[in-house]
Structure 1
Amino acid sequence: MNIELLVVGKTDSKEVEALVELYVRRVNRYCRFAVTALPDVRNTRSLTQNQQRTAEGEAILRQLAAGDHVVLLDERGDEMRSVEFAYWLQKRMLGGVRRLVLVIGGPYGFSDAVYARADGRLSLSRMTFSHQIVRAIFAEQIYRAFAILNHEPYHHE
């Protein structure tokens, strides 16, 4: 299975970028994992929140193929513990998912079209995190899931 973390906008933090790259390298020991940052929508000051969501949604949808299993990181998504997430991931691998696309949207969430295309939603927490730091947190959780599935000593429970 290939996993792609699709994010709206680039990070301006070298520290966050370095941390994401660390976990990308670690996850790539288990499966092909990539992070794709879509360009920020231009002229957002002249756009409503809905127009910005729509523009970001169009960019997200252009990145998806028909057979992709698409999961949105969304505040209203399912919350789970790391072990539960590991088994959730394993279920998709064993279920024949070829490409799992995990999407972190922009500051105003997702357009209706993206919600309609999604196969599921996950939430990291009921707390709100910056869209930049979520990249590092979620990349780490993907690595943690593989460590759990491979009975490695990274996760302590």
Structure 2
Amino acid sequence: MTIKLIAIGKTDNNNLQSLMDDYTKRLGFYIKFSIDIIQDIKKAKNLSEEQQKQKEGELILSKLTATDVLILLDENGKQQDSLAFSEYLQKHMNSGIKQLVFVIGGPYGFSQDVYNKANGKISLSKMTFSHQMIRLFFIEQLYRGFTILKNEPYHHR
């Protein structure tokens, strides 16, 4: 199985990017992981929130294959602790799927088409974080999940 993270807009904070690169490298010891960045919509200020979500949604859906399992990182998704998330990852690995795709939406969330295609939703917190910080938090949690599955000391119980 491979895991892909899709996000809208580049990370312009070098410190966050450096940390994301570090955890991405660490993840490589456990699983094939990639990040697919969709460029910000040009002239988004001229679009309504709904139009922007629709355009971003079309770009997100264009990055998927027919067999991908799509999980949205969404404020209304299911919350779980790190142990439960590691079990969630294991369950998907055991299911035989080829690619598990997680998506961080744009500033207004996801279009209805993306919600309709999704196989699930996860929330990382009830708090609101910047979309750039969520990338780091999610990648770190992926890494933590795999260290839990391998019974390594990174996560202290």
- What is the CA-CA distance between 1:106 and the residue it aligns to? 0.4
Corresponding position of 2:10: 10
Q: TM-score, normalised by structure 1?
A: 0.99
Task: Report whether the alignment pairs 1:58 with 2:35.
Answer: no
Q: How does 1:11-90 map to 2 (within 5 A)?
A: 11-90=11-90
Which runs of 5 or more structure 2 residues have no equivalent in the other structure? none
Instruction: Give the distance between the partners of 1:113 and 1:135, measured in 2 at CA.
Output: 22
Give structure 1 stretches of 5+ with no counterpart: none
The 5-angstrom pairing of residues 94-113 of structure 1 reads 94-113=94-113
The offset of 1:76, in angstroms, is 0.3
Identity rate, percent: 47
| SS across alignment from 1:76 | strand
With normalisation by structure 2, the TM-score equals 0.99
The C-alpha deviation readout for 1:47-102, integer Å capped at 9, x for no partner, is 00000000100000000000000000000000000000000000000011110000
**RMSD of aligned C-alpha atoms?**
0.5
| Superposed CA offset, 1:14-53 (max 9, x none) | 1111111111111111110011111100101100000000
Counterpart-to-counterpart distance in 2, 1:72 and 1:153: 29
CA distance, structure 2, for counterparts of residue 54 and residue 117 of structure 1: 13
Count of equivalent residues:
157
Partner Cα distance (2:139, 2:56) in 1: 21
